[in-house]
Amino acid sequence: MTIALFGLGLMGRPMARTLLAAGFNIIGWNRSPLDPSLTEGIPLATTLAEAAQAETLILMLSDSAAVDEMLRRLDPLLQPGQLVIDMGSSDPLHSKAHAARLAERGVGWVDAPVSGGPEGAATGTLAIMVGGTTEDVSRARPILTALGRPTHVGPPGAGHTAKVINQLIVGLTIQAVAEAIVLAEAYGVDPALLRTALAGGFADSKILQIHGARMAERRYVPGGKVTTQLKDLRLAAAMAQAAGIELPHLTDTIARYEILVERGLGELDHSALHMLLSE
């Protein structure tokens, strides 16, 4: 099986290396030039047309607009029998539309967004939420299993729906952890000792341990960017509005991430919410 991975960013690079280590024949493609040191060890396609010849095309792009644009460029190059796997965070409605359009041409579609960050991508331990037909998901499963733990949650679009819900939980939990760290700091409690004390209890979480450390150290190197988190939370808000559901904590968290972006801090890790609450 030949695989082309489109999007060699914070997630795409470790995913490509994990697939290479698992024995897959993979080449990478990025829309803009990258420092060669970032892609060391990853075979690169010299042209988009070369990458588009792969049997399976993985899209690891920033948002729905980027996916739409990439598919627009790939459309003239796609052939029946190929499989497209969108592993970024996108609008579920876009996924459904792409799946239906590609199916008419004999091209498979799976939306398989991930959670676990670059660390999970590097270790093959990502949580993967999968939407697609049974046939297409079966074709994608060996690749997804090499990257982590795939769960088929429904038809096309269901994977991206689950990812939006994942990001809702992540965003609100980051705010809760940031508030807790700020309160601990105000009362002179060492956040590192606090994380140790809470480990294994009901308040424990990966966000407390990983993002809590970033907050305590005021080290906001992404991870996941503020802009990406805001994009996903806005998707959740749109879905809630369409369903007639009020999610008050989501509204509050969106407003705080918007402040960070307005201040030019959108490229920081999403744990930078702590910075805002510390003021």
- CA pair distance 262, 87, nearest whole angstrom: 28
Which residue in the list 163, 206, 225, 231 is annotated as catalytic?
163
Half-sphere exposure of 37 toward its Cβ, with a 13 Å CA cutoff? 0
- CA pair distance 189, 185, nearest whole angstrom: 6
Q: Is 163 known to be catalytic?
A: yes
Give me the active site residues, please.
163
